[in-house]
């Protein structure tokens, strides 16, 4: 059986190994494949039966040109890069990798929040530039320092990742307002409750964390009108999907001070464009979509990718999205 990985570098920049897939067939791994070069995508797949992709698009044209494909594995949770209906019409199962990064993404959301509250990186650099050793006082700080105990975090999307963030927030003494279409009442306690109305969450939250999928109804949920409903100085966190935020509206709110700070690991177009309005915004931390990328998380993803293929080979397809 011939296996092709079209863009393996992001998952495995040489600190993991491909032995699990190599044990299942003749495996060829490309670090990167040109995303817009359909002919090259087709050439690299060739007569392979198993194709893995992360961000390389697989279209109906690719399926028509590569009739040997029997299985498509997506090395991520999101699978919008694959034309799943065209694959279904060809009888090709498309399987993704859910739940591999729950702990890492929740931890990263809190990491963004703590950096906003303490500006640890900035003050570390200030010390190394000699500002502490030459300071007339025994300490200094350049930004207001924020204590989270007793404050309220509103979490939009209270699935696995939202709950992971919520658990850490509660451990720091925060109250959690959870918004989700599904309510797990076992999670409700003295520090955590569900709200049925987003307006209530906007009004009551000191921190708003986005952990919801990108659907039509959630696209642009952080916009000018909803920001107006929020507390002055609210902190906004997003390490879910970039288009959940109307970026021009957030830029305006950051620059005016209505939004006190934002911590973002995702933006509307990735890699970020040089003209993204948030690059010049006040009090805005942006990281390059790395919430998921701890070694532990990536190893889990690799292991699940292998298990998905083993299940397919055994006639029991799991994590199928089409």
264: CATH? 3.40.50.720
Q: Strand order in 71-74's β-sheet?
A: 26-29, 2-5, 50-53, 71-74, 94-95
Looking at the structure, tell me whether residues 106 and 82 fall in a common domain: no
Looking at the structure, tell me whether residues 175 and 238 fall in a common domain: yes
Looking at the structure, tell me whether residues 181 and 134 fall in a common domain: yes
Looking at the structure, tell me whether residues 107 and 90 fall in a common domain: no
Q: What is the pLDDT of residues 4-61, one digit of tens each?
A: 999 999 999 999 999 999 999 999 999 999 999 999 999 999 999 999 999 999 999 9
Average pLDDT, the chain: 97
Q: How confident is the model at residue 259 (pLDDT cuts 50, 70, 90)?
A: very high
Residue 210 phi, psi dihedral angles, 5° rounding:
-100, 120
Q: Strand order in 192-194's β-sheet?
A: 192-194, 175-179, 152-156, 207-210, 234-238, 259-264, 284-286
pLDDT for residue 10:
96
Per the omega criterion (within 30 degrees of 0), is the bond before 70 cis?
no
Q: Please state, in angstroms and rounded to a whole number, the distance separating the CA atoms of residues 4 and 21.
A: 10
Looking at the structure, tell me whether residues 110 and 95 fall in a common domain: no
Supply the range of the domain harboring residue 253: 102-286
Task: Tell me whether residue 74 is exposed, middle or buried, using C-beta atoms within 10 angstroms of its C-beta: 0 to 12, 13 to 18, 19 or more.
Answer: buried
Report the catalytic residues: 241, 270, 289
Looking at the structure, tell me whether residues 116 and 207 fall in a common domain: yes
The model carries a pTM of 0.94
Considering its fold, how many domains does the chain have in total? 2
Q: Are strands 284-286 and 259-264 parallel, antiparallel or unpaired?
A: parallel
Looking at the structure, tell me whether residues 143 and 208 fall in a common domain: yes
Residue 88 phi, psi dihedral angles, 5° rounding:
-60, -40
pLDDT for residue 129:
98
Q: What is the pLDDT of residues 105-133, one digit of tens each?
A: 999 999 999 999 999 999 999 999 999 99
Looking at the structure, tell me whether residues 163 and 81 fall in a common domain: no
């Amino acid at each position: 059986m011939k296996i092709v990985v079209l863009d393996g570098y992001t998952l495995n920049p040489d600190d993991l190994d491909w032995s699990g897939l190599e044990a299942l067939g003749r495996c060829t791994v490309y670090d990167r494949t040109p995303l817009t070069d359909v002919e090259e995508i087709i050439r690299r797949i060739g007569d392979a039966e198993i194709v893995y992709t992360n961000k390389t698009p697989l279209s109906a044209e690719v399926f028509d040109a590569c009739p040997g494909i029997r299985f498509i594995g997506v090395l991520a949770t999101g699978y919008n890069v694959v034309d799943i209906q065209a694959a279904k019409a060809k009888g090709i199962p498309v399987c993704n990798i859910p739940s591999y990064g729950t702990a890492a993404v929740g931890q990263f959301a809190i990491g963004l929040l703590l950096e906003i509250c303490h500006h640890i990186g900035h003050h570390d650099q200030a010390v190394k530039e000699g500002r502490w050793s030459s300071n007339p006082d025994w300490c200094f700080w350049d930004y207001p320092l924020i204590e989270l105990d007793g404050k309220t975090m509103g979490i939009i999307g209270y699935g696995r990742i939202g709950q992971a963030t919520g658990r850490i927030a509660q451990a720091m003494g925060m109250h959690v307002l959870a918004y989700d279409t599904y309510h797990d009442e076992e999670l409700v306690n003295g520090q955590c409750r569900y709200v049925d109305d987003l307006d209530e969450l906007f009004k009551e939250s000191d921190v708003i964390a986005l952990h919801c999928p990108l659907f039509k109804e959630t696209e642009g949920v952080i916009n000018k009108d909803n920001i107006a409903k929020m507390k002055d100085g609210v902190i906004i966190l997003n390490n879910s999907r970039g288009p959940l935020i109307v970026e021009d509206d957030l830029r305006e709110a950051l620059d005016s001070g209505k939004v006190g700070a934002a911590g973002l690991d995702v933006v509307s177009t990735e890699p970020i464009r040089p003209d993204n309005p948030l690059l010049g915004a006040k009090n805005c931390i942006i990281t390059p979509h790395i919430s998921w990328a701890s070694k532990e998380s990536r190893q889990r993803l690799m292991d699940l990718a292998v298990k998905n293929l083993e299940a397919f080979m055994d006639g029991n397809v799991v994590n199928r999205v089409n």
